[in-house]
Structure 1
Amino acid sequence: MDNQELKILFEDNHVIVCIKPPGVLSQADGLDRQDMLTIIKEYLREKYNKPGNVYLGLVHRLDYNVGGVMVFAKTSKAASRLSESMRIHDFTKEYYAVLEADLAIGKTDVLIDYIAKDENQKLAYITDETKGKLSKLEYEVIDKKILNNKTLTLVNVTLISGRFHQIRLQFSSRNMPLYGDTKYGHRTREKDKELGLYAFQLSFPHPITQEVLTYRTTPNTPLFQLFKL
């Protein structure tokens, strides 16, 4: 992926909203892998003919193997205000998740845990309120399919809090791992499987006007094409 392939949903002087494909980092990790921050900076440098460094603020992240809608700040003021909006939960993030489970269509539930992060292993784990942060999500079952004689269930997830690997951990801990999740799901799964998680909708207040902006996209990868979206 290069800046010519960048899919932009919205851009003004303060923010830019783009679609991150699965298999692209949110920001550089020191290895030779593509990342959204670098790609968008190059796009801005070319579009506005800017020499030298281009400012672009990373407001939130998506995992490497998760695609979906992301917003970036084009000024430090916008970055500060968007970060504050995230802190007070003014961002609404919605995901599609494909679970290795058989749930009734229409079922809804709320998952609440205390989650901490193992910095050495880069893994999240469930603990108690003295060691972890309160983590909450809501979900609704919207479709299910049979694949290789196993039932896969598609759920619409609304994140109430945004912890590291929260969705993957909370479902896995209830014996409903995400499809293709080798970290929290079935250890024997092939590592090249598509991960069943996609950030399809993002709502946030514009950092200057405070108008609530909502952007969404539909995943077109082979796994999600199985379902009614």
Structure 2
Amino acid sequence: MSEKVISNKNNLQVLYEDNHIIIVNKRAGDIVQGDKTGDKPLSDVVKDYIKDKYNKPGNVFLGTVHRLDRPTTGLVIFAKTSKVLPRLNKLFLSKDIKKTYWALVKNHPKKRSDTLVHWLKKNPNNNKSKAYSREVKDSKKAILHYTVKKKLDHYVLLEVTLETGRHHQIRAQLAEIGCPIKGDLKYGFDRSNRDASISLHARHIEFIHPVKKDAISIDAPLPNDPLWAACFA
């Protein structure tokens, strides 16, 4: 596993880069793609980085393969060429890219490790997903696996892997079992984090490079916060 930061220019942490792919460590508050806020998206920041580093004239191609919620931190993969974009999309669709998340939550779950199965229904009016124990109209099945990694004084560190990729899935499912993520006011935590983040971090990713066929395994450095640091104490 690699936690090496190969570039940290203009608050952009680049963790891996070759001719085909670039992997960055997203900060809390960054949006991956443009939205109605009009704020500059991470995709444009990465384009600027490529344009500057390689002295590229004109427009820079960058394909967005997946997203992270705005208050979430961690690994985001972008395609640097139109050739590799559909190959990365296929890896995600076939679940051949393994992603691991870390979450700091309130309350210890009943089980040290478990598989959670819910049906999530998104409400576009408040941009929130509700988790149900049975299928309801317009809901989608959501499956995740969690394991307790460490118990801190007031929080519990969970390691989470997903079988499905639903809207706010980790946030909604953990809240439903009484373990809301630290700072996540939308899903029941009682106060916000100072930087408006939630303590959910896309920590690890591994896959076979779709062009070079090398095994890629990357860890995203944790946010600079004493509570995250305590996870290694």
Which of 220, 225, 228 matches 1:224? 228
Q: 2:51 is aligned with what amino acid?
A: R
Q: Deviations over 1:153-179 (max 9, x none)?
A: 111111121211100000101111111
* Aligned residue type for 1:169: A
The alignment status of 1:203 with 2:206, answered yes or no, reads yes
Instruction: Note the aligned Cα RMSD (angstroms).
Output: 2.1
1:183 aligns with 2:186: yes
1:16 aligned to 2:16? no
**Using the alignment, how far apart are the partners of 1:79 and 1:119 within structure 2?**
28
Name the counterpart of 1:114: 119
Where do 4+ consecutive residues of structure 1 move more than 4 Å?
A: none
Give per-residue Cα distances to partners, 1:31-65, cap 9 Å, x unaligned. 34342101100011111211221110000111111
Say whether 1:140 aligns with 2:147: yes
2:72 and 2:197 in contact (8 A); partners too = no
Partners of 2:9 and 2:47 in 1: CA distance: 9
TM-score (norm 1): 0.88
Give the residue type in structure 1 aligned to 2:186: K
Counterpart for residue 123 of structure 1 = 128
Structure 1 gap ranges (5+): none
Cα distance, 1:109 vs structure 2 = 0.7
**Aligned equivalents of 1:177 and 1:89: distance in 2?**
26
Mapped contact 1:3–1:42 kept (Cα < 8 A)? no
What SS does structure 2 have at the residue aligned with 1:200?
strand
Identity value in percent: 33
- The equivalent residue for 1:51 is 57
Deviations 1:79-136 (A, max 9, x none): 11111111111111111101100248x9111111122322232111224165322211
**What's the secondary structure of 1:38's corresponding residue?**
helix
Q: Name the CA distance, whole Å, in 2 between partners of 1:40 and 1:49.
A: 14
> In the alignment, is the contact (CA less than 8 A) between 1:70 and 1:202 conserved in 2?
no
Match for 1:90 among 74, 78, 96?
96
Aligned length: 222
Q: Report how far residue 6 of structure 1 moved.
A: 1.9
Report the alpha carbon displacement of residue 7 of structure 1 after superposing the two structures with TM: 1.6
The more displaced of 111-120 and 175-184 is 111-120
Question: What is the rounded CA distance, in whole Å, between the counterparts of 1:54 and 1:3 in structure 2?
Answer: 18
Q: CA deviation at 1:191?
A: 6.2
Amino acid at match of 1:42: D
Structure 2 residues not aligned, in runs of 5+ = 1-7
Deviates more, 1:47-56 or 1:24-33: 24-33
Partners of 1:71 and 1:36 in 2: CA distance: 11
Match of 1:164 among 160, 167, 172: 167
CA contact 1:137–1:161 (8 Å) conserved in 2: yes
TM-score by length of 2: 0.87
Q: Find the counterpart in structure 2 of residue 64 from structure 1.
A: 70
By how many angstroms is 1:225 displaced?
Answer: 1.8
Cα distance in 2 for residues equivalent to 1:215 and 1:198? 13
